[in-house]
Amino acid sequence: MSQPSTSITYLTFQGVFKAISHIFFREIKTTDIQNVPASGPCIFIVGPHANQFVDGVVYMSVNPRPSYALMAAVSYDKPLIGHVGKILNAIPVVRPQDIVNVGTGKIKYDPVNQPLQLQGQDTKFMEEIGTRDFIVFGRNYKVHVSKVLSDTLLEITHSIQVDQQVVGDDYVPFKIAPHVDQTAVYDEVYNYLNRNECVTIFPEGGSHDRSEMLPLKAGFAVMALGAAAANPALDIKIVPVGLNYFHPDRFRSRAVVSFGQPMTIDKADVAKYKLGGKDKREAVTKLLDQSDEAFKTVTVNAPDYDTLMVVQAARRLYVPKSNAKPSIEQVVKLNRHFVSLWAKLKGDPSLEAIVKKVKYYNNMLTFFGIRDYQVDKLNITPVKAAYQLIKRITKLVAMAGLGAPALISNLPLIWITSYISKKKQKQALAGSSVKIAGKDVLATWKVIVAAFAAPALYGVYALFYLAYLLKHKPNLSLNAKLTRAGLIWAIQPILHYLLMRLGDTGLDIYKSIKPLFLAIRNPEAGEIIRSMRKDLSKDITEFINLHAPELGIDGNGSSSSSVAPSTTSSSSNHSSANITQVSRSNSDTNLMDQRNSTSSSTSFLEASFSTTTDDMPESYLVSSRDESFLEYSSTDELNESKYHVESIVLNEEDGGDEQSSALSQI
């Protein structure tokens, strides 16, 4: 088996992945890449897994250390993805959830009177279930079978907490996830680590589109501790890698890949792991907790979408002392720090006030159809706005004239990628209990479909040109005609890429037009929005600077120390959005004075929003719907023990088969 560090094939695929990444994404940045160990055994844990196979493409394109990736067997067996995995020597893993079966009959679980037993009704436990299988029921409640007593009674390894309102006292349907022996997988991982190679794992176990990371699975921790226990000379490093997308499913969006500080495995934990039983579970749990905290330094882990929207708004309103526009890397770090601040100050009554202010501001922008970054463009006279509007529309028309042929010729490609990706989105959502809308598969299928459809479409156009030459250019030789048609086929991707870059510029110009319309149509409304933003920005900036030492940042929003942001656990209960505390300053009074002086505009705005002002901050006379952009409560799918560590050690006398149970959590 070839080693990726010296494999030309690996480097070739890495180059291809870089090309794919930079076509789909407008910008990809990396932060702290110096944290990647230059040599020695290493396990990269990558998350959040928000973009299915595109995650692997982006990660591999920027990681300077080649590595072997663990890959779900169902993906490994797919025609295209699996073939790439085989070429890159990926390690296939059979996941129990991929071979789950529907059980015969129904079951009932009584956590009070019979916490270690499951009762069946019309079931065939003896025929369908074996020791170490998983039983899944309700909203993804999962128990581990320790012994099958009869066709209607079995024992489980440990009790779980269930919501009786969900499960009830009645018998419910169930599914069976068979036990899978993963010894060969562990042996292969150990071999790579012993050769000072790297292994990559997505420890959430599957892709999703949630705003927070799923609970980390125990597999990678058992691998690291097991390898260190088997070879004490190994100095294994665990490196957290954060994939931060601004719009993961959107073509020409942006991404930041952050590499965290390498973690060294404690020798004391390795010794405890060797003891087995409770000590082994404690060692694994400790490493998982450390990894969970490490992920918080490289990811933005908001508890829900509403909180994430408020966090991003607060970050945009924050002004660093340098007054410099933050880079894309700094934007991700600021989002991370603001989520940390939300966690520290959660429950403070003053937080609710600033949350309302930010939401009112966001909703006002939505009402007028502009974005936050466009507000500064409202500081312009109607005459200048009209001049700029004419100038930019002229540029836009010229660019549209250049780009229209490319757009029209690519309409079939756009349609088919959109159609198939949305179809796959529906299928993925139907087969998952943790996805919100199934958006994590969109980018993957857009890339896969385009990879085949684009060359085929350009080939069709080349054939049309060849047909034209055959009919209208009889003096040309056949070789000349074929050569010209081939050149037409080859030049189209290059031409369309250049026009795509031109389209990026045109899109920026288009986005600047809306605020110019508002500045011409209603300059007073623009002034009120700018005043609101200025005052809100001042309050947020003062508060962030006040709490900068707690967050480990300086006044410019950059990390001032190695202190890791302390956020809520990825498996904690989710609450409604509270983001950042702002002192009630004189800016409230100033804004009131400004609005009193522009009463006509205020009346217009108040009439535009048919809501009362009884519960809003006194500085805000303008309100709109105070609702979440996307609401969902904490799900019951993730309500079992934090990392399922209790199921790692089933039976010590079985000698190492506990690895299979742990790997089933990968």
* Residue 640 banded pLDDT, cuts 50, 70, 90: very low
Amino acid (one-letter) located at 197: E
How many CA atoms are closer than 13 Å to the CA of 192, on its beta-carbon side?
26
Check residue 660 and give its pLDDT. Answer: 41
Higher pLDDT, 6 or 265: 265
pLDDT of 226-249, one tens digit each?
Answer: 999 999 999 999 999 999 888 888
pLDDT greater than 60 at residue 342: yes
What is the predicted pLDDT for the residue at 199? 96
Q: Count Cα neighbours of 69 within 13 Å in the Cβ-side half-sphere.
A: 25
Nearest Cα to 35, choosing from 264, 192, 193?
Answer: 264
pLDDT at 610: 30
- Judged against a pLDDT cut of 70, whether residue 597 lies above it is answered with no
> Phi/psi at 68 (nearest 5 deg)?
-100, 130
**Mean predicted confidence (pLDDT) in 15-22:** 93
Cβ atoms of residues 633 and 313 within 8 Å: no
| 35 compared with 315, residue with greater pLDDT | 35
Residue intervals of the chain classified under CATH 2.40.30 are 97-179
What pLDDT shows up at residue 166? 53
Whole-angstrom distance, CA of residue 369 vs CA of residue 517: 11
Q: 89 — phi, psi (to 5°)?
A: 60, 40
pLDDT score, position 383: 87
C-alpha closest to that of 158 among 174, 140, 146 = 146
Who wins on pLDDT, 18 or 521? 18
The closest of 123, 2, 18 to 61, measured between CA atoms, is 18
What rounded mean pLDDT belongs to the chain? Answer: 78
Confidence check: pLDDT of 622 > 90: no
pLDDT at 635 over 80: no
pLDDT of residue 510: 86
Residues forming CATH 3.40.1130.10 domain(s) in the chain? 4-95+184-301
% of the chain at pLDDT higher than 90: 38
| Number of CB atoms found within 10 A of residue 197's CB | 20
- What is the structure's pLDDT at 214? 87
Residue with tokens 């989105």: 425
Distance CA 520, CA 382 (A): 5
pLDDT digits (tens, 9 = 90+) for 367-416: 777 788 788 777 778 888 888 889 989 999 988 888 888 888 999 999 99
Fold of 97-179: Elongation Factor Tu (Ef-tu); domain 3 (2.40.30)
Q: How many residues does the chain have?
A: 666
Give the separation between CA 247 and CA 629, rounded to whole angstroms: 15
Which is nearest to 267 in space by CA: 303, 232, 216, 294? 232
Three-state DSSP at 176 gives strand
**pLDDT band for position 659 (50/70/90)?**
very low
498-519 pLDDT, tens per residue? 888 888 888 888 888 888 888 8
Q: Comparing 540 with 222, which gets the higher pLDDT?
A: 222
**pLDDT higher than threshold 80 for residue 24:** yes
**Helical axes 523-546 vs 349-368, angle rounded to 10°:** 150
Residue 331 has pLDDT above 90, yes or no: no
* Nearest Cα residue to 288 out of 524, 29, 633, 641: 641
- pLDDT higher than 80, residue 16: yes
pTM: 0.70
pLDDT at res. 569: 34
Which pLDDT tens digit goes with each residue over 30-58?
A: 888 999 999 999 999 998 998 889 999 99
Residue 605 is given by DSSP the state: H
- Mean pLDDT to the nearest integer, 534-552: 77
Residue 197 pLDDT exceeds 90: yes
Return the top range by mean pLDDT from 203-212, 293-302, 391-400: 391-400
Q: Among 3.40.50.2300, 3.20.20.370, 3.40.1130.10, 3.40.50.300, name the CATH number for the domain at 4-95+184-301.
A: 3.40.1130.10
- Give 413-471 pLDDT, tens digit per residue: 999 999 999 999 998 888 777 888 888 899 999 999 999 999 999 999 999 999 999 99
Confidence of residue 313 (pLDDT cuts 50, 70, 90): confident
